[in-house]
Chain A
Amino acid sequence: MPVVMIFYYLISVYLLGILVWSFVREKKSVSDMVLYLVLATPLVLRVLHIK
């Protein structure tokens, strides 16, 4: 795997972690929760290599 792809996956995992943490910490806004899930979806698919 090229080095750039390793960095790409590390960045994806980092962003995914932020989104999951934001989702867990969200206390009020359901629309924000939906937004976090929408943003997290492509990152989950990429990190898990689901084609």
Chain B
Amino acid sequence: MSRMWIVKIALVAVFGLVIGVAGAQLYEHRHFDTPIVAGPGVTRVAKLSDYCPTLKGTTGDTNVFFLESGVSGGTALVIAATHPNEICAALTAFVLVENAMPEQGTLIVIPEFNNSASRATWPGDGYPLYYSIDTLWGEKTFRMGGRGASPVDQWPDPDVFVHYPEKQLLSYIDSRNTNRTWPGRPDGVLTERVCYGAMELIRQENVNVVIDLHGAETMFPVTNCIVAPDKSVRIAAMASLTVQMQEHFANHVEPSPLSFHGLSHREIGDYSDALPFLLEAPCPFLDQPTGPKTPQLLLDGKDAFLLSLAQQKRLFVPYTEEGWPIEKRVGQHCSVILEIFNQFSKRYPDLSIILSDAPKYADLVENGLGVYFHDPSQAAPDGIYYE
């Protein structure tokens, strides 16, 4: 055998080894599930495919938790992990499912809306595969996801994404973005089917309020805010003012653009009777000019480069040495959700949505986040679900 053939065989072997080791890590990440303990408020758990059968058996299918009070009132839907790399959203949903108790009306929660995206990270951007939260019973580990559905599940991307049904031309990458594919269709690409399933859920369950949870860069102007279309803006404004006065954190209101299609806060309002809201909390991890993308940065939001930019007034949120701890971000989401329900209930008393035992901003800042996650080993097996 010539020397060149030995080199060739060695190269193929090294490639196989690298691909095997890296592939095994990505395979394990894709199939890693986080347990969620159904709290006392959870009355049933459905699947999104119950509302869009073409999702059945795909990674687009996901759990839908119902917290029904049995008392006549309104219905609210909270959607998290539309973009799974904005981790404050899914963590808020976990907190609600494990703790909230409905006193009037019904709360529906989807913790991993873009389930496919939650199973594909961005290795090219140095994203970690996992992150963990300290709890009273040990560490609770979560998958770190990406922004769009995994190319393993939806591929190839089109050259230009043509939004359905408005035919607006959008970036090719947004075909895998579940905040560009509303209202969706049952025979479309995976992300369109996911959004269609949620639209059917909204229509069939007579949902009155939809809240889509997100996180955004501190250098992006649409951050630390409530995005609302005209039909929701009064309630959004009252919620914004109330949390600012009573809970002492800023959360301004941004109008939903009329001519930008595919967004949840645009299409849910246009294609159903529900009032949509999109909540953005600051997520320093997502900013481009930061140090290494570590799990620590993900959780505490502390970064020297962002601090320097804050001193030059380049950021759209207050930023100090304290960073933006995850407790503050989840706390803001919890408080704004509860205040939106409160304002909606004042405006439509017959459709009141009242929750108890859901922590607010001050609770999370004081107690930390881990306190609100329950130990799966101590829970009844039929009360544990996997996300």
Contacts and interface: CB of A to CB of B under 8 A. Distances in A.
Interface of A: 8, 23-24, 26-27, 30, 33-34, 37, 41, 50-51
B15 interface: yes
A27 B3 CA distance: 10
A51 B156 CA distance: 14
Contacts, number: 19
Nearest to B23: A50
Interface string B309-337: 00000000000000000000000000000
Given A8-B156, A51-B152, A41 B11 contact: no
Provide the main secondary structure of the chain A interface: helix
Interface of B: 4, 7-8, 11-12, 15, 19, 23, 30, 152, 156
Contact of A33 (B7, B19, B23, B152): B7
Provide the main secondary structure of the chain B interface: helix
A43 to B, nearest CB: 13
B15 A30 contact: no
Contacts of B23: 50
Contact of B11 (A8, A30, A51): A30
B150 to A, nearest CB: 9
B15 A23 contact: no
A34 B156 contact: no
12 contacts: A8-B156, A23-B8, A26-B8, A27-B4, A30-B7, A33-B8, A33-B11, A34-B11, A37-B11, A41-B15, A41-B19, A50-B23
A33 B19 CA distance: 16
A37 B4 contact: no
Contacts of A30: 7, 11
A23 B15 CA distance: 13
Contacts of A51: 30, 152
Contacts of A37: 11-12, 15
A30 B30 CA distance: 34
Contacts of B7: 30, 33
Contacts of A24: 8
The 6 closest A-B CB pairs, nearest first, are A51-B152, A37-B15, A33-B11, A30-B7, A27-B4, A37-B11
A1 to B, nearest CB: 13
Nearest to B8: A33
Contacts of A41: 15, 19
Contacts of A34: 11
Contacts of B30: 51
